[in-house]
Structure 1
Amino acid sequence: MNNARSVTVKLLDKEYTISCPDGAEAELLASADYLNQKMREIRNSGKIVGLERIAVMAALNMSHDLLKNKEEQRQNVESHLRRITHKIDRALSDLDKDT
């Protein structure tokens, strides 16, 4: 059973202590660094003020990107499956012609 550890992350110069399972610290820190980068981009744009609003906007942008990537991945898988199905159908058709 994994034990939880406390890890301190910094988002827009504010520190947060987060509990995470042993061995997941690097992933948590990488995630926090990515979030911090996105929050800084939003803050630096000057269009949104306030830590909470910046965090919400960063979360919405990241969620949008995730959903868009999932949809693109789904479409790629479907495209590959259609190509494979077409090749199988063609191969089976060729076998029928040979028999």
Structure 2
Amino acid sequence: MELPHSKIVKVKIFDSEYTLKVEDEELAYKAAEYVDKMMRELHDKLPNQSILTIAILTALNIAEDLFRERRDVGCIEGEIEDLLRGLSSKVDKMLSL
């Protein structure tokens, strides 16, 4: 599938270069930099592991971060909805006086 307004960028992750078709060039570079950093940190901790294992562990760590963020955002959204309902109820009471 062709991305609208797509650009071709080259990124380097763990000493390998990848050509990507992206919509947001800056985001692609930041993501590649983040993945590279995470892989290098894991490799430093687990130097005897294969690159494939390092890549999979990195993917799992990033996925765990994503799910944690989604859960936290969901909790915050729920709190905001509760506050808005409370405020709406108070406004309704004030208007009916």
* TM-score (norm: length of structure 1): 0.79
CA distance in 1, matches of 2:75, 2:50: 38
CA distance in 1, matches of 2:94, 2:65: 43
Could you list the structure 1 runs, at least 4 aligned residues long, displaced by more than 6 angstroms after superposition: none
Between the two proteins, the alignment pairs up a number of residues equal to 94
CA distance in 2, matches of 1:44, 1:13: 15
* TM-score (norm: length of structure 2): 0.81
RMSD: 2.0
Contact 1:8 1:16 in 2 (8 A): yes
Report the secondary structure of 1:10's partner residue. strand
Report the secondary structure of 2:5's partner residue. coil
Unaligned runs of 5+ in 2: none
**1:14 corresponding residue in structure 2:** 16
